[in-house]
Amino acid sequence: MIPASEALALLREGNRRFVADRSTVATSSHQARRLDLVDGQEPFAIILGCSDSRVPAELVFDRGFGDLFVIRVAGNVVAPSQVGSVEFAASRYATRLVVVMGHSQCGAIIATLEELLGKSSTQSRNLRSIVDRVRPSVETLLSGRTVDDHEALMREAVRANVRVSANHLRHGSELLEKLIRDDGVRVVGAEYSLESGVVTFFDGVEDVEQATGA
Ligand SMILES: [Zn+2]
């Protein structure tokens, strides 16, 4: 079992290699690793990220087969099946670190903002289920302000949405609450920059650094 603090350090190191264009996973033997994993897995981190094709979790953290348990959904929103996926990995594989990772220029956030500003509306009930989960955090940001700096608003909205998803995972499941209380599971929020490739961990990080990883 890899404690949350160590898992976070591994992700940071991997992202540094990726940003420096010194990724190592692409040159390693996938077939040997694949065979090693046939009988079981022990992923050291759970990543809840966006489905956006520009944000492949394994690549931005320079990790390969068996390392990350990845859940991807547009807007990295948390619905019951996402909570269930995190519960599954954390309880079955003893994975201690959960990362909710949003990203700049996220289409789901843009769609929600446009809807709230009256520029468009979502017709599909299914698509609406995603926008509706992003909406409350963005609505809070919009209340009582004028939208003069759209870029700044977009950046804030991405982070607000990550914070809400991370909090939902911390407090929306009895099983996860127990794993957090008794077993050193930690949930952190992060943002990936399409522009720089850098992942910034900005929510719940101090708590990981203090975690014993028991
Ligand atoms: Zn996105």
pLDDT at 119: 83
Going from the Cα of 201 to the center of ligand 1, the distance in angstroms, rounded, reads 17
Whether 108 and 134 have beta carbons less than 8 Å apart is answered as yes
**What is the rounded CA–CA span in Å between residue 28 and residue 78?**
33
- Name residues with Cβ closer than 5 Å to ligand 1, which is an ion: 50, 52, 106
> Has residue 214 got a pLDDT over 70?
no
pLDDT at 211: 62
- Global confidence as pTM: 0.94
Handedness of CA 66, 48, 9, 16 (dihedral sign): positive
> Has residue 94 got a pLDDT over 60?
yes
pLDDT at 194: 98
Q: At what angle do helices 150-171 and 107-116 cross, to 10 degrees?
A: 110
What is the tens place of the pLDDT at every residue in 51-86?
999 999 999 999 999 999 999 999 999 999 999 999
pLDDT at 147: 73
What is the tens place of the pLDDT at every residue in 4-53?
999 999 999 999 999 999 999 877 788 999 999 999 999 999 999 999 99
Going from the Cα of 138 to the center of ligand 1, the distance in angstroms, rounded, reads 15
Q: Mean pLDDT, the chain, as a whole number?
A: 93
Going from the Cα of 98 to the center of ligand 1, the distance in angstroms, rounded, reads 18
pLDDT at 39: 95
